Amino acid sequence: MKKIGFVGLGIMGKPMAKNLVKAGYDVTVFDIRPEPAAELAAAGAKTGGSPKDVASSTEVIITMLPNSPHVKAAILGPGGVIEGVKPGSIVVDMSSIAPSASQEVSAKLAQKGVPMLDAPVSGGEPKAVDATLAIMVGGPEDTFKQVKDILAVMGSSVTHVGAIGSGNVTKLANQIIVALNIAAVSEALVLATKAGVSPERVFEAIKGGLAGSTVMNAKVPMILAGNFKPGFRIELHIKDLMNAMDTAHELGVPIPLSASVLEIMQALKVDGKASNDHSGLVQFYEGLAKVQVRR
Question: Taking a C-beta distance cutoff of 8 angstroms, is the pair 72, 45 a contact?
Answer: no
Question: Which DSSP string do the residues of the chain spell out, in sequence order?
Answer: ---EEEE--STTHHHHHHHHHHTT--EEEE-SSHHHHHHHHHHT-EE-SSHHHHHHT-SEEEE--SSHHHHHHHHHSTT-HHHHPPTT-EEEE-S---HHHHHHHHHHHHTTT--EEE--EESHHHHHHTT-EEEEEES-HHHHHHHHHHHHHHEEEEEEEESTTHHHHHHHHHHHHHHHHHHHHHHHHHHHHHTT--HHHHHHHHTTSTT--HHHHHHHHHHHHT----SSBHHHHHHHHHHHHHHHHHHT---HHHHHHHHHHHHHHHTT-TTSBGGGGHHHHHHHHT-----
Alpha carbons 100 and 16: distance in angstroms, whole number = 25
What is the C-alpha to C-alpha distance for residues 40 and 29, in angstroms, rounded to an integer? 8
Our answer to whether residue 171 is catalytic in this structure is yes
HSE value, Cβ hemisphere, 13 Å, CA-based, for 170: 23
Cα atoms in the 13 Å half-sphere on the side-chain side of 174:
20
Of 14, 18, 46, 171, the active-site residue reads 171
Could you list the active site residues?
171
